[in-house]
Structure formats: C-alpha cells, structure tokens
Amino acid sequence: MSGGAAGAPKPLPSSGPKSLREMPHPLATSSSEEMGPALTPSPDLLLPRSIADKDLSLPNGTPVDTSSPASSSSLLNRLQLDDDLDGETRDLFVTVDDPKKHVCTMETYITYRVTTKTTRAEFDLPEYSVRRRYQDFDWLRNKLEESQPTHLIPPLPEKFVVKGVVDRFSEEFVETRRKALDKFLKRITDHPVLSFNEHFNVFLTAKDLNAYKKQGMALLSKMGESVKYVTGGYKLRSRPLEFAAIGEYLDTFSLKLGTIDRIAQRIIKEQLEYLVELREYGPVYSTWGGLEVELAEPLEGVSACIGNCCTALEELSEDMSEDFLPVLREYILYSESMKNVLKKRDQVQAEYEAKLEAVALKKEERPKVPTDVEKCQDRVECFNADLKADMERWQNNKRQDFRQLLMGMADKNIQYYEKCLTAWESIIPLLQDKPETK
C-alpha cells in the first residue's frame, strides 16, 4: 500500500485483536481515551480539511464525528512490532465457548456462551455472558453488512451442512464451529468501526435477542434503513488501479486457496488409506511372533511400534481436518464477501460519475456543485477510505493468520514424526537384546 507522508507504513504485527485497536479509523467515533495513531490512506483520497468542513454522514444517515484527525506524525508512533500487546490498550474482550445442546419439541440446536469483558462507555456493565446460537451470529453478520456496507465483514462458518454426511452434533464439528465463531467475533472486536456497531453491542449484551431482532425489523420498515443505495444499473467508467488490483489479487488468492484446500484434502485421504494398510500390517508381525521363540519379543515389539505410528497418524489427520481445512475455507469465504464489497464500491462510484456527468450536461447550474452530487462524492471517498483501511488491516491479519496456520501444519507433521521416531528408537534395545540362555 502506498505510504503516507512521514515514515513508511510498517507492517502491522500479530493477527487479530491487539494490533487493530491502535488504529482508530479516521472517521471513527472518538474514543474517550487515546486517539491512537491513525492509518493513513493515500492523501488523494483522504481530505482532512474537507472532512472537517463538510457535513458528512455515513450512507445510512449516521453523522460522523470528525474530531480525530488523521495525522501523519502519529504514524511514527505506530505499533511496536512485538506480538504481545499489553492488555491495557484493549478495552473489549469477547470469547465464544461452552457449547450446549438444546433439545426442544420443534428442533434440536446448539448454543454457545458469549462472554464479554469491557471498560467501554458504550457498555452499561463491565461483564456480560449470554448464550447465542448460529442463527444469531448469522443475524449479526447480516446486520453488520447492512449497516456498515463500506467495511469488510468477517465470514461465518458455512451455514448449511449436508445432513447425513456430517454429524451436526459431533464433538469435532461443534468444536470446529465454535472456533470459527470465536474468530468471527474477535475480528469484529478488533475492528475500530465495527466493534462500535450498535447491533454488535446488543448481540453481546441482550438477554433476549429475539425481541430486539423483531423490533429491529419493525424499525427497518419504518425508517427505511435500507442500504440499498447500491442503485445498480450505473456503469463504471474506470476502476481506480488499486481497487482493480485488489480485485485481481482476491481472484487469484481464492483460486490458490481452493487448490490448497484440495491438496490438503487429498493428503488426508491418502493418509487414511495408508492408515488402513498399516492397521493390517502391524498385527501380522504379532502373528509371526506367535510362531517363534527367540524372535517372539522382537516381532511383538515391531507390531506394537507400528501400532503407535498408526495412532500418531490418526491424530495428524484429525488435526488437519479440524484445524487446517476450516481456516482455509474461512478465507475463501472472506474473499468472496470482499469481492462483493468491491462491487458495491464500484456501484457507488458509478452512481457518482453518472450524476456528475448529468450535472455537467445541464449547463444551467452555476459552478456550485449541487449537494446531491456532493453527497455522492463524499460517499465514494468514504467508501474508498474505509475499504482501503480495511484492506490493509485484512492483508496484515491474513499474513499473520496464514503464518500461524502453516506453522501449525508444519508443527503437527513434526510432532507426528517425533512420535514415530520415539516409538522406533525405543524398540532398538529390545531388538538387540540377547537372550540369556537358550
């Protein structure tokens, strides 16, 4: 990403929560505490003066507090590259755990406990603990997409599971889902804009979410909180280079991830087939040992050893299925939703350009550009700024996530080989042992 004025933008450190807190969005509502250093998008997009001057509002009508200017000098105060940020700089912590099965007459489903700890003023209490089910998360995500259309919303694990193929209530499935849901909320928590979203607040705090949901629906229809400002039908003249680049990047990225997903699945499949053969192989040594006298112990030892390797292999395959594949898929989903946001951005720009052109044609208007067109222009600039900021944040988180993911994969393989190594090394003395007497 092209840098701002002073200091090259440093790559942001660790994934997830910590780093993002340090970078309140230029348009974010001011926090009572620190105005941390801000992320600076390209100067041509961000116009501090115009922000201060103009009557800006987010597309849904929320006025924007502009009292926290982006300053280039604050770039220098940017993050320590150290992964471990002290907890003091964070004021919101969210965790998903404790899955429980609920059996009702109509249906059976799982709920998860969502725990919040915070010092933010937006929250009445310092701690909350509520139970939520998948559809509540789904609702939240939809709300966020609606209310924050210029931002990248993290993905949820897949909604639909083919019944009969996967057991929705198996420990592995539930645990995988829990991890994904936890990741989802943590990503939102770390986002300087999304974490202040009122729907998010309610999600974390409300005892009865359903009531709020219903109320929200009513309000929606009344106030027309429609975000369908993606008017559609406008043709984009030229996409700014950087967004075109992002689009291309995301295309290739999700392609490559898809390939990696297929390779990983293939490896797991091959490993399981290898395991099947190993499970037959080990016992044959045992059978042979039964025929022998002096060789009985060594053969039995080899049999046991192979058994241990089988166990280790099983663990490796399970780990890959449960930890590796889901994260890959998450990022593929992420890419998809990001591409949609890019499309929306294109639409907003297209609308602006069309209106601008219409005005230019009308010649009667004096130099002062009508407010309507001005609003469009602001929308475009806002969108671009939000998107750029989110994109950079996403890139860094992605780097950290994949670094962790791939290191994890390497680790699991190392552990597998270490277990096998231990097993084989331990039987060498057994094999070399000479019987005392014949």
Partner 1 sequence: MESAAAEPSDSRPREEAAEEKEEEEDGDGAAAAPRSGPPPAEQPPAPAAATMEDCLSKKIEITVSEAEKRTGRNAMNMQETYTAYLIETRAVESQNEGQCSPVDSLWRRYSEFELLRNYLLVIYPHIVVPPLPEKRADFVWHKLSADNMDPDFVERRRIGLENFLLRVASHPVLCQDNIFYSFLTQEGGWKEMVNETGFQLKADSRLKALNATFRVKNPDKRFTELKHYSDELQSVISHLLRVRARVADRLYGVYKVHGNYGRVFSEWSAIEKEMGDGLQSAGHHMDVYAASIDDILEEEEHYADQLKEYLFYAEALRAVCRKHELMQYDLEMAAQDLTSKKQQCEELATGTVRTFSLKGMTSKLFGQETPEQREAKIKVLEEQIQEGEEQLKSKNLEGRDFVKSAWADIERFKEQKNHDLKEALISYAVMQISMCKKGIQVWTNAKECFSKM
CB of residue 278 to partner 1, shortest distance in Å:
6
Binding to partner 1 by residue 403, rule CB under 8 A? yes
201 vs 303, beta carbon nearer partner 1: 303
Query: Closest Cα to residue 196, out of 296, 288, 122, 97?
Result: 122
102 vs 256, beta carbon nearer partner 1: 256
214 vs 403, beta carbon nearer partner 1: 403
Instruction: Please check whether residue 397 is in contact with residue 23, taking contact to mean a CB–CB distance below 8 angstroms.
Output: no
Stretch (H or E) spanning 93: strand 92-103
Query: Closest Cα to residue 405, out of 261, 273, 262?
Result: 261
Stretch (H or E) spanning 264: helix 241-291
DSSP state of 30: P
326 vs 408, beta carbon nearer partner 1: 408
Alpha-carbon span 391 to 244, nearest angstrom: 13
77 vs 271, beta carbon nearer partner 1: 271
Per CB under 8 A, which region of 169-177, 181-189, 220-228, 412-420 contacts partner 1? Answer: 412-420
Stretch (H or E) spanning 291: helix 241-291
Sign of the CA dihedral with 358 first, then 363, 365, and 369 last? positive
Count Cα neighbours of 425 within 13 Å in the Cβ-side half-sphere: 6
225 vs 433, beta carbon nearer partner 1: 433
Q: Which of 107, 124, 208, 294 binds partner 1 (CB under 8 A)?
A: 294
Q: Is 132 helix (H, G, I), strand (E, B) or coil?
A: strand
Binding to partner 1 by residue 432, rule CB under 8 A? yes
234 vs 288, beta carbon nearer partner 1: 288
Q: Which of 285, 331, 334, 352 binds partner 1 (CB under 8 A)?
A: 285
Long-range contacts of 326-329 (CB under 8 A, 24+ apart): 326/157, 326/176, 326/179, 326/180, 327/401, 327/405, 328/257, 328/260, 328/261, 328/264, 328/405, 329/157, 329/158, 329/261
Binding to partner 1 by residue 417, rule CB under 8 A? yes
Query: Rule CB under 8 A: which of 227-256 touch partner 1?
Result: 249, 252-253, 256
Q: Which of 11, 63, 87, 224 binds partner 1 (CB under 8 A)?
A: 11
Alpha-carbon span 172 to 97, nearest angstrom: 14
CB of residue 198 to partner 1, shortest distance in Å:
36
Query: Closest Cα to residue 342, out of 226, 229, 225, 250?
Result: 250
Query: Closest Cα to residue 79, out of 32, 27, 9?
Result: 9
Q: Please report, for residues 103, 229, 308, 350, the alpha-carbon distance to residue 265 in angstroms, rounded to integers and kept in the order given.
A: 33, 41, 23, 42
Query: Rule CB under 8 A: which of 264-283 touch partner 1?
Result: 266-267, 270-271, 273-274, 276-278, 280-281
Binding to partner 1 by residue 368, rule CB under 8 A? no
Binding mask 191-230 for partner 1 (x = CB under 8 A): ----------------------------------------
CB of residue 275 to partner 1, shortest distance in Å:
8
7 vs 298, beta carbon nearer partner 1: 298
Contacting positions for partner 1 (CB under 8 A): 11, 249, 252-253, 256, 259-260, 263, 266-267, 270-271, 273-274, 276-278, 280-281, 284-285, 287-288, 291-292, 294-295, 298-299, 302, 305, 399, 402-403, 406-407, 410-411, 413-414, 416-418, 420-421, 424-425, 427-428, 431-432, 438
